[in-house]
Structure 1
Amino acid sequence: MTEKAERAMQSQRALMGVRDLVISGGIRAGSRLSEVALAEKLGISRTPLRAALARLEQEGLVDAIPSGGYAVRSFTREDVIDAIELRGVLEGTALRLAAERGVAPARMGELHRLLAELDQTQKGEVEEMNFDAYVDLNAAFHEKLWSLASQTISREIERVTSLPFASPSAFLDKQADVMAFRRSLYGAQAQHRAMVNAIELREGARAESLAREHARLARQNLEFVLDQDRSLIRRVSALSLVVG
């Protein structure tokens, strides 16, 4: 392995390692991050670790401390809702522009293929849904939608969805055994189809409205966990960052 490749691997290892510790609740919200302790825990040098911490500050998971160093960021309920709403705005803008500018048939075909695969996960009774496959395909579908946007918009979407509760799959894999939640995914799939249809018909305003409404499913999931079934909080590790 070349020296350059080794540095890249160390940087990625540092980024993923610290991010996982923060999101999993391995480091409590508000805690100051010790470079020495983190470097020892992850088995990396402090140079890639510092780069990783700077990247996580950009993503919004840690805050820089005026006296130096970083601390794990804590989020209010309003912070989480704002992040979800912002994703909806960005995703809606991406779809509106894609519809107005037109999308090549080959790329529309990729979206239809993913829709068909998502349909397959929902065959049969709600209890028989292939939930794991749905989670993976849902993420792939949204990433394909984002790829229709300009680099400017897609970068902003990537930044917002790096927060663990703003992504399209937020809370999905933690509620596989909640039947009411599973049923809601049939409505989500109908929204997927409507968004693709609006893009094909070049109905920009409709595509934007559908995308913004669809993003609010993540907010409904959050409210379900916080207000209706708090027993799920311990299963959604990222909620350890939410206070109040």
Structure 2
Amino acid sequence: MISSISEQALEESSRSTHTARALMELREKILSGDYPGGTRLFEVPLAETLQISRTPVREVMSRLSEEGLLDRLPNGGFAVRSFTYADAVDSIELRGVLEGTAMRLAAERGVSQEGLERLHALLGRLDACFSEDFGEVDLEAYSSLNSAFHALVVKLSGSTVIRREIERATRLPFASPSAFLSGRAHVAAFRQSLHIAQDQHRSIVSAITAREGARAESLGREHARIARKNLEYAVHEAPELIQTVPGLVLLSS
């Protein structure tokens, strides 16, 4: 009996691992443009490509539909979703509104000393990503820490509702706080935006510490506009960058 239960647990664990791998693989294929917007995905060939059975394929596609990368078709099945430029702008604006609200709540409700210490510690680690003359930036470290900073601020709001909605809003890759960071240190416009963003990080922590809710909210909304400006730059001034920012290949002309 024990052996049977153990075998079942191992089988479920293995199936879960295969599904998680397939989810990551298909998500990456979509974000890199291997499956252009509008492409209908068929279970059998996709199962063969991902080397899993059809049941987890349906699970993977349902998950990516929840993330906003696939559309459910009226007659069944899924297709890769296309986005307009306006969709991308609206997604970033929505994140700014939600994060601004989270920052206001954190300031107004008050953050524990431990929470403030964690914020300041993250801020210090972000500062350390810049060289002394601010000419170079450890972009890989900054990207990871930036995501952690945003997640912590949202958590400190104390609102599970806001936290859940922000997670939903940032599932679209071009709307996430670090969408325009990884691998683009050579782009002067993006590199310059990091210094502005870090100044805003300091101001956000200051506003939350001083319990200045309106200021914290305003800073949060303005902070998200950096991503919007980077989006505008990539689409209108340097379209070759579209291939390097996850998800932007899904934008329709």
Q: 1:161 aligns with which of 133, 152, 170?
A: 170
Q: Which amino acid aligns with 1:60?
A: G
Q: Is the contact between residue 25 and residue 237 of structure 1 (CA under 8 Å) also seen in structure 2?
A: no
Q: 2:149 aligns with which of 125, 136, 141?
A: 141
Q: Return the alpha-carbon distance in structure 2 between the equivalents of residues 39 and 125 of structure 1.
A: 51
Q: Quick check: 173-182 or 81-90, which moved more?
A: 173-182
Q: Which amino acid aligns with 1:134?
A: Y
Q: Is the contact between residue 204 and residue 219 of structure 2 (CA under 8 Å) also seen in structure 1?
A: yes
Q: Which amino acid aligns with 2:16?
A: A
Q: Is the contact between residue 172 and residue 247 of structure 2 (CA under 8 Å) also seen in structure 1?
A: no
Which residue does the alignment assign to 2:131? 123
Task: Give 4+ residue runs of structure 1 displaced > 3 Å after superposition.
Answer: none
Paired residue secondary structure (1:71): strand
CA RMSD of aligned residues (A): 1.5
Q: Quick check: 120-129 or 151-160, which moved more?
A: 120-129
Which residue does the alignment assign to 1:183? 192
Which residue does the alignment assign to 1:199? 208
| 1:17-37 Cα deviation digits (max 9, x unpaired) | 221111111111100011111
Map 1:89-100; keep pairs closer than 5 Å.
Answer: 89-100=97-108
Q: Quick check: 118-127 or 59-68, which moved more?
A: 118-127
Q: Is the contact between residue 63 and residue 73 of structure 1 (CA under 8 Å) also seen in structure 2?
A: yes
Which residue does the alignment assign to 1:108? 116
| 1:90-111 Cα deviation digits (max 9, x unpaired) | 1111111111111111111111
Q: Return the alpha-carbon distance in structure 2 between the equivalents of residues 118 and 237 of structure 1.
A: 23
Q: Is the contact between residue 126 and residue 179 of structure 1 (CA under 8 Å) also seen in structure 2?
A: no
Tell me whether 1:231 sits opposite 2:240 in the alignment.
Answer: yes
Tell me whether 1:170 sits opposite 2:179 in the alignment.
Answer: yes
Paired residue secondary structure (1:192): helix
Q: How far apart are residue 237 of structure 1 and its match?
A: 4.5
Tell me whether 1:39 sits opposite 2:47 in the alignment.
Answer: yes
Q: How far apart are residue 184 of structure 1 and its match?
A: 2.0
Structure 1 unpaired stretches of 5+: none
Q: Return the alpha-carbon distance in structure 2 between the equivalents of residues 133 and 142 of structure 1.
A: 14
Paired residue secondary structure (1:118): helix
Structure 2 unpaired stretches of 5+: 1-8
| 1:172-204 Cα deviation digits (max 9, x unpaired) | 124210223212211110100111111111111
Which residue does the alignment assign to 1:215? 224
TM-score normalised per structure 1: 0.95
Which residue does the alignment assign to 2:83? 75
Q: Is the contact between residue 87 and residue 166 of structure 1 (CA under 8 Å) also seen in structure 2?
A: yes
Q: Return the alpha-carbon distance in structure 2 between the equivalents of residues 8 and 155 of structure 1.
A: 24
Which residue does the alignment assign to 1:6? 14
Q: How far apart are residue 148 of structure 1 and its match?
A: 1.8
| Paired residues, number | 244
